[in-house]
Amino acid sequence: MTTSGGNGSRRSPESGGDRIRRAAYELFSQYGVRDVGVDAVIARAGTAKMTLYRNFPSKDELILDFLRRRERLWTEEWLQHESQLRGERPQDQLLAIFDLFSEWFERPDFEGCAFLTTMMEINDRDNPVFQASVEHLARIRGYLRGLAAAAGLADPERVARQWHVLMKGSIMAAHEGDAGAASAARELGVLLLRSHGVPVD
């Protein structure tokens, strides 16, 4: 999911800062934030180093911008939007997440969860990038919690955490090469919903 978003035929020329953002998004998505240096971003963007530092005083600021963009493109415009389109009931929308994952895992540009990867690469709880990754993950759980509550579950917070574990586990299994990871997670999701008395077709 390394798309930078937008497909209109008429675009205004990209500024140097926009090129930096796009290059960083593509590189960080594909290779992670630890191994990609600012020189690689500058080379991909075709801009001067001064342009980068004028827009982003530090690499951490560039990573934070990447995470915000990732949340908009991946979490909001893809995961949330598409899961709502694919299911009428909230429980169907929860299960649709794994249908989306199944398609995502089969893509040649599958790169995993940027929030998890960034958090593991930074591995410093006091670092603003680590904290931002945790906050982005928490907002995903917030979306799951809302669906669980709408489905009538008695403890939507607990179910949201359980559902998120299934999501994160399936992503890591897909990294291992498990082609059926999303399907297996969906089966467990069905069992979880039924154990709470939620009807599932």
Q: CA nearest 49: which of 72, 74, 23, 73?
A: 23
Q: What is the pLDDT along the chain (201 residues), one digit of tens a residue?
A: 554 444 444 556 778 899 999 999 999 999 999 999 999 999 999 999 999 999 999 999 999 999 999 999 999 999 999 999 999 999 999 999 999 999 999 999 999 999 999 999 998 999 999 999 999 999 999 999 999 999 999 999 999 999 999 999 999 999 999 999 999 999 999 999 999 999 998
Q: CA nearest 168: which of 133, 139, 193, 137?
A: 137
Range of the domain at 168: 60-195
The number of folded domains in the chain is 2
Cα→Cα distances 128→65, 122, 192, Å: 12, 10, 35
Question: Are 66 and 146 part of one and the same domain?
Answer: yes
Whether residue 88 lies inside any domain: the answer is yes
Question: Are 38 and 69 part of one and the same domain?
Answer: no
Report how far residue 73's alpha carbon sits from residue 115's, in angstroms, rounded to the nearest whole number. 13
How much is the pTM?
Answer: 0.90
Does residue 167 contact residue 79 with C-beta atoms inside 8 Å?
no
Question: Are 93 and 48 part of one and the same domain?
Answer: no
Helical H runs in 46-155? Answer: 49-55, 59-70, 81-86, 90-105, 114-122, 128-150
